[in-house]
């Protein structure tokens, strides 16, 4: 297949100061839950982006000093020379595919907890560290400012020595020191670094000039700028101080990376913002600088990308989440394979990796985060080791992914579902308010199945145990999903709630199946993810009066991990939904419910006409249990195995269901892993010890350190004796 000529502009090279990007695709910095704790995992993940055609691949936030310690979060670090080897892993992985590597140097200033380093946080003026009520930041002296400039210069030189092509001065959110100097809220200084806007810009200007001086003409300098805080007059605004800041610095950096703040706005979910929503802000920057501009907007449509470039909105297509959903998005556009793009659905399950300090995951891309530890490639799956035929019962996210992956491996696959419409929970949930983009999970996989002649699809085909055995497949996979509980048991309550067997009690399944409730409805949310809030929103839109009751301190509490909680609660309040937090469901009566304070046990009566329970889920595994009752039928019918996947195995997120289906398909016919842990574990401390010990042995044997191709860049710049400090007495090779 060949690329449509209208997309040619996307593959033009872009000059960024002294370096050239081979096309306009730019993976902007994004967190990954890997950082300094999992450097091999991070390098493999970033390298996959470069292989997939992203011309620039960036790190996440990279702390430049121990006074910017944000533990327990796992971002990158470049505190001293000991951090250099793990960075080199990523740089080499990116350079291997002809892409530029960018390092987002950062200091969190007055938002650094410094729990690990146990040093004082630093800020332009004395402030409380957000989220840590017992920690305060010390106002920086002029000596502190001079020292901070020296720290940045030193970090820039290290990044240059490692081989990074682009080095950031990061002012993208209020969590960074330069932005804290820019904001009146955090900068109350009365000297030349405070007061007027030019004074507040001074520190950032000095940092840019320092970075340029430090690296000379070998690296490009990028500035990531927060243009608008979307707080009105309480914060920076694009058309006032935001664009004026850019104007004062317009020609200093080699490229501008534009965003809005805070992170929940910058990475807003598809439930609250459409593709390309940051265009008005990015466009303003293009009007005041001649330097290239990169911006984001959850871009998945190549036509949208071309439109923004042709109209002069930006020069490079920035992406974090779309590059996670499909690391090969650029190559697929280049090769004319638009139908193969796994479009980001904007659910932000990837963001949860940062908050849970675990490698990121993706609803659309089950291989994300598994590039190193399992060796999974998003576009390559091993051919089948045998010719076993597979019957998959259930065409939800797990069943669809399993069928696609097995089909690509070469197995003969039959996918059946009792419903006329494939997609399972994805099809049902995508009809809820704001979740229409989630249908991409179903649509992408159905499109892939259309090209697999070895996969047969049978909708509206309910099967029982006899049907399954008579079908004759050698492998049986049950992907029959889950159902919401009707007894009130959830995260808070472990026993059935009295009265939940009444006809006035419904579950989320009933609403998903089209039930419309009138009068006053109480939604009881003991699930705490998105479902309770979106069900309440749907019922309110249908005209019901709604009260949402939850044992948590706020609605949809777990959506803090997906950056949505504030937006969800704001929307529900604006819709007139009454919210009762820290209340559990005690009983359901005729005409009402009894709720109870989770702290005091005090009861309260709420009148209502009906109740919707959004609590826990139970696997729909009765068909599986029936199959497993009589094992003798397996040999009689030549059935080699029967397994559950997805929600039928254990209810969870859509991302977990997709992963489950993919994992089962990948492992079919593969040799059994004899290890106690069936994936590689990263031991960064031990890995560092061994690597540094190798350096010492190499030196003692008279060998050149630059036997590693990347270490030649570090010759005369890294003190190897410092790297092996503290370990030499206990580790040898």
Q: What is the C-alpha to C-alpha distance for residues 512 and 402, in angstroms, rounded to an integer?
A: 24
Q: What is the C-alpha to C-alpha distance for residues 447 and 367, in angstroms, rounded to an integer?
A: 19
Q: Which one-letter DSSP state was computed for residue 271?
A: T
**Same domain, yes or no, for 70 and 91?**
yes
Q: What CATH code is carried by the domain that includes residue 451?
A: 3.40.50.720
Residue identified by tokens 């800041």 is 245
pLDDT at 688: 52
Q: Kindly report, residue by residue over 501-529, the tens digit of the pLDDT.
A: 999 999 999 999 999 999 999 999 999 99
Give the bridge partners for 63, in sequence order: 77, 106
Closest CA to 414 of 466, 468, 457: 457
pLDDT at 698: 47
pLDDT at 263: 82
Q: What is the C-alpha to C-alpha distance for residues 54 and 99, in angstroms, rounded to an integer?
A: 7
> Between the CA of residue 501 and those of 81, 511, 592, 612, 670, what are the distances in Å?
65, 17, 14, 12, 47
Closest CA to 30 of 280, 347, 418, 359: 359
The answer to whether the CB of 722 falls within 8 A of the CB of 99 is no
The answer to whether the CB of 261 falls within 8 A of the CB of 306 is no
Is 31 a catalytic site residue?
A: yes
List 173, 283, 411, 557, catalytic entry: 173
> Between the CA of residue 139 and those of 46, 189, 361, what are the distances in Å?
37, 9, 38
Three-state secondary structure string covering 480-530 = CCEEECCCCCCCCCCCCCCCCCCCCEEEHHHHHCCCCCCCEEEEEECCCCH
Asked if residue 384 is part of any domain, the answer here is: no
Q: What is the C-alpha to C-alpha distance for residues 178 and 107, in angstroms, rounded to an integer?
A: 8
Structure tokens at 158: 């290290």
**Same domain, yes or no, for 289 and 409?**
no
Asked if residue 145 is part of any domain, the answer here is: yes
The answer to whether the CB of 374 falls within 8 A of the CB of 382 is no
**Same domain, yes or no, for 535 and 658?**
no
List 63, 266, 621, 647, catalytic entry: 266
Is 266 a catalytic site residue?
A: yes
Asked if residue 518 is part of any domain, the answer here is: yes
Q: Given CA atoms 10, 16, 18, 21 in this order, what sign does their dihedral have?
A: negative
Give the bridge partners for 171, in sequence order: 225
Is 165 a catalytic site residue?
A: no
List 30, 31, 168, 528, catalytic entry: 31
**Same domain, yes or no, for 476 and 535?**
no
Contacts with 510 (C-beta within 8 Å, 6 or more apart), sequence order: 612
Closest CA to 187 of 91, 251, 123: 123
Residue identified by tokens 């139908």 is 339
Q: By percentage, how much of the chain surpasses pLDDT 90? A: 84
Angle at 699 between CA 694 and CA 703, to 5 degrees: 95
Residue identified by tokens 């097995």 is 406
Q: Kindly report, residue by residue over 605-642, the tens digit of the pLDDT.
A: 999 999 999 999 999 999 999 999 988 889 888 899 99
Q: Which one-letter DSSP state was computed for residue 141?
A: P
Closest CA to 493 of 587, 593, 626: 587
**Same domain, yes or no, for 341 and 394?**
no
Asked if residue 312 is part of any domain, the answer here is: yes
Q: Given CA atoms 342, 533, 490, 601 in this order, what sign does their dihedral have?
A: positive
Residues of the chain with pLDDT under 70: 132-133, 684-733
**Same domain, yes or no, for 198 and 328?**
yes
Q: What is the C-alpha to C-alpha distance for residues 332 and 601, in angstroms, rounded to an integer?
A: 58
The CB-side HSE value for 658 (13 A sphere, CA atoms) comes to: 23
Q: What CATH code is carried by the domain that includes residue 543?
A: 3.50.50.60
Residue identified by tokens 């990523």 is 90
> Between the CA of residue 196 and those of 143, 181, 234, 244, 553, what are the distances in Å?
21, 11, 16, 12, 40
Count of the separate structural domains present in the chain: 4
Domain that holds residue 704: 684-723
**Same domain, yes or no, for 336 and 459?**
no
Q: What is the C-alpha to C-alpha distance for residues 392 and 330, in angstroms, rounded to an integer?
A: 33
Asked if residue 510 is part of any domain, the answer here is: yes
List 73, 168, 170, 659, catalytic entry: 170
Asked if residue 592 is part of any domain, the answer here is: yes
Peptide bond into 72 cis (omega under 30): yes
The answer to whether the CB of 87 falls within 8 A of the CB of 76 is yes
Asked if residue 732 is part of any domain, the answer here is: no
**Same domain, yes or no, for 579 and 640?**
no
Q: What CATH code is carried by the domain that includes residue 172?
A: 3.20.20.70
**Same domain, yes or no, for 189 and 338?**
yes
Structure tokens at 178: 């330069």
The answer to whether the CB of 186 falls within 8 A of the CB of 180 is yes
pLDDT at 676: 86
The answer to whether the CB of 26 falls within 8 A of the CB of 359 is no
**Same domain, yes or no, for 256 and 405?**
no
Give the bridge partners for 585, in sequence order: 595
**Same domain, yes or no, for 396 and 444?**
yes
Q: What is the C-alpha to C-alpha distance for residues 121 and 140, in angstroms, rounded to an integer?
A: 9
In sequence order, what DSSP letters do the residues of 33-95 get, joined into one string?
A: S-GGG-HHHHHHHHHHHHHTT-SEEEEEEEE-SGGG--TTS--EE-SSGGGHHHHHHHHHHHH
pLDDT at 685: 57
**Same domain, yes or no, for 179 and 127?**
yes
Asked if residue 398 is part of any domain, the answer here is: yes
Q: What is the C-alpha to C-alpha distance for residues 177 and 144, in angstroms, rounded to an integer?
A: 12
31: how many CB neighbours lie within 10 A of its CB? 22
């Amino acid at each position: 297949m060949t690329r449509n000529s209208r997309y040619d502009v996307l593959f033009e090279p872009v000059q960024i100061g002294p370096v050239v990007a081979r096309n306009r695709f730019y993976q902007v910095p994004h967190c990954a839950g890997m950082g300094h704790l999992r450097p091999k995992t991070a390098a493999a993940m970033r390298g996959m982006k470069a292989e997939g055609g992203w011309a620039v691949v960036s790190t996440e936030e990279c702390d430049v000093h121990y006074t910017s310690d944000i533990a327990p979060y796992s971002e990158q670090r470049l505190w001293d020379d000991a951090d250099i080897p793990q960075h080199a892993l990523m740089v080499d992985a990116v350079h291997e595919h002809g892409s530029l590597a960018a390092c987002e140097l950062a200091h969190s200033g007055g938002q650094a907890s410094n729990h690990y380093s146990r040093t004082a946080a630093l800020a332009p003026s004395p402030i409380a560290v957000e989220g840590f009520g017992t920690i305060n930041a010390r106002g920086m002296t002029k000596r502190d400012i001079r020292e901070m400039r020296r720290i940045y210069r030193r970090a820039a030189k290290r990044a240059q020595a490692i081989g990074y092509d682009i080095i950031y001065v990061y002012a993208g959110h209020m969590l960074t020191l330069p932005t804290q100097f820019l904001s009146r809220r955090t900068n109350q200084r009365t000297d030349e670094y405070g007061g007027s806007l030019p004074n507040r810009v001074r520190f950032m200007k000095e940092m840019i000039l320092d970075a340029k001086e430090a690296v000379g003409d070998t690296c490009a300098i990028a500035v990531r700028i927060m243009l608008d805080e979307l707080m009105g007059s309480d914060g920076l605004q694009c058309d006032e101080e935001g664009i004026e800041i850019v104007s004062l610095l317009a020609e200093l950096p080699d490229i501008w990376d534009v965003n809005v703040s805070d992170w929940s706005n910058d990475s807003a979910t598809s439930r609250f913002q459409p593709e390309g929503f940051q265009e008005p802000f990015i466009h303003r920057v293009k009007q005041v600088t001649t330097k290239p501009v990169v911006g984001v907007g959850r871009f998945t449509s190549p036509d949208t990308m071309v439109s923004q470039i042709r109209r002069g909105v930006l020069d490079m297509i920035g992406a974090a989440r779309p590059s996670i959903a499909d690391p090969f998005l650029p190559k697929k556009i280049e090769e004319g394979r638009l139908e193969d793009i796994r479009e980001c659905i904007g659910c932000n399950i990837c963001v949860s990796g940062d908050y849970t300090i675990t490698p990121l995951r993706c609803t659309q891309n089950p291989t994300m985060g598994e590039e190193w530890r399992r060796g999974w490639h998003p576009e390559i799956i091993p051919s089948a080791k045998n010719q076993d035929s597979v019957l998959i019962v259930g065409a939800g996210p797990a069943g669809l992914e399993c069928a696609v992956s097995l089909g690509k491996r070469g197995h003969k696959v039959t996918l059946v579902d009792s419903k006329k419409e494939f997609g399972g929970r994805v099809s049902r949930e995508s009809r809820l308010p704001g979740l229409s983009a989630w249908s991409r999970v179903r649509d992408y996989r159905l499109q892939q199945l259309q090209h697999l002649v070895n996969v047969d699809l049978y909708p509206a085909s309910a099967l029982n145990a006899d049907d399954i055995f008579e079908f004759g497949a050698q492998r049986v996979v049950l992907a029959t999903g889950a159902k919401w509980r009707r007894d009130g048991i959830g995260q808070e309550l472990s026993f059935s709630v009295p009265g939940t067997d009444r006809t006035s009690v419904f579950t989320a399944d009933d609403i998903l199946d089209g039930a419309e409730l009138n009068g006053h409805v109480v939604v009881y949310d003991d699930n705490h993810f998105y479902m309770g809030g979106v069900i309440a929103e749907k019922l309110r839109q249908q005209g019901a009066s709604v009260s949402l009751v939850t044992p948590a301190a706020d609605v949809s509490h777990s959506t803090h991990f997906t950056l949505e909680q504030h937006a969800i609660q704001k929307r529900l309040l604006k819709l007139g939904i009454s919210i009762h937090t820290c209340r559990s469901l005690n009983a359901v009566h005729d005409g009402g419910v009894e709720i109870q304070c989770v702290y005091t046990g005090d009861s309260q009566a709420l009148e209502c006409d009906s109740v919707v329970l959004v609590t826990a889920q139970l696997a729909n595994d009765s068909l599986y249990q029936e199959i497993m009752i009589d094992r003798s039928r397996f040999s009689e019918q030549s059935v080699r195995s029967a397994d559950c996947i997805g929600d039928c195995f254990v209810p969870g997120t859509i991302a977990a269901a997709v992963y489950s289906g993919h994992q089962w398909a990948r492992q079919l016919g593969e040799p059994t892993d004899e290890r106690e842990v069936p994936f590689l574990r990263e031991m960064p401390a031990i890995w560092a010890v061994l690597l540094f010990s190798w350096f010492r042995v190499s030196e003692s044997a008279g060998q050149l350190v630059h036997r590693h191709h990347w270490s030649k860049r570090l010759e005369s710049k890294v003190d190897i004796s410092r790297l092996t400090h503290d370990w030499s007495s206990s580790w040898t090779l």
